[in-house]
Amino acid sequence: MSGQLIVGLDVDTRQQAETIIEALDGSVDFFKIGYQCFYGADGFALGKALLAAGKKVFFDLKLLDIDNTVEKGVAAIAATGATMLTVHGYPQAMRAAVRGAAGSGLTILGVSVLTSMDDNDVAEAGFARDTAGLVSLRADQAKKAGIGGLVCAAHEAAMVRQIVGQGMAIVTPGIRPAGSDSGDQKRVVTPRQALDAGSTHLVVARPIVQTADPAAAARAILTEMAGGTRLA
């Protein structure tokens, strides 16, 4: 189960990140580096240091640009030995990312719909679909692009699995342990619910990194995960 839990290093400084990493030593070896850590805590260098130490790193950068820029950016991340990288789930970006990652072990993940968005947000953004419809479209496009997986809310995991078949990763953010606050996420589930729905990897940040005892919080989540039965 520990390989399925990804801890989001959503902190402001490298010292904070390293304190959390040290506290989780022996419990978690997979870490997500997103905008906050990447830009504010020297996250690129931190990620390379983690990789050198034998850890797994998920760079959550949600790349979206012209094809050449995405391809070259992905190639640069792939050269670090990173495990996962996100791009926005637009077909051109996903195809460019596949080219950039060619020959490496980097898993490209397409971001379908952010877990902070609901149907009203999707409509406001101009999509003539509801959330589930847009996720369904992105899943089909991700499969055709040949990327390694998709980021989606656990509510859509079973639907996504039906579309993409076996073999692709389904990474679920917005995970909250039973009884915890959902924060700014609108489509959240517990760790057990996410695995039961078919998610292959769970991303947890605040419920671990913002506690006085990150190791205890991580162990509690791993215990909760072990109580579920994956359907994927």
The annotation status of 16 as a binding-site residue, yes or no, is no
Exposure string of 77-109, with b = 16+ CB inside 10 Å and e = fewer, is bbebebbbbbbbbbebbbbbbbebbeebebbbb
Active site residue 48: no
Q: How far apart are CA 171 and CA 161, in angstroms?
A: 11
Among candidates 232, 217, 221, 209, which has minimal Cα distance to 37?
Answer: 209
Q: Residues 48, 55, 56, 62: which is the catalytic one?
A: 62
Q: How far apart are CA 52 and CA 45, in angstroms?
A: 11
The annotation status of 77 as a binding-site residue, yes or no, is no
The annotation status of 66 as a binding-site residue, yes or no, is yes
The annotation status of 63 as a binding-site residue, yes or no, is yes
The annotation status of 213 as a binding-site residue, yes or no, is no
The annotation status of 64 as a binding-site residue, yes or no, is yes
The annotation status of 33 as a binding-site residue, yes or no, is no
Both tokens of residue 4?
């399925």
The SS3 of residue 88 is: strand
The annotation status of 106 as a binding-site residue, yes or no, is no
* Residue positions annotated with a catalytic role: 62
**Residues that constitute the known binding site:** 10, 32, 60-69, 115, 176, 185, 206
Which residue numbers belong to the known binding site for substrate? 10, 32, 60-69, 115, 176, 185, 206
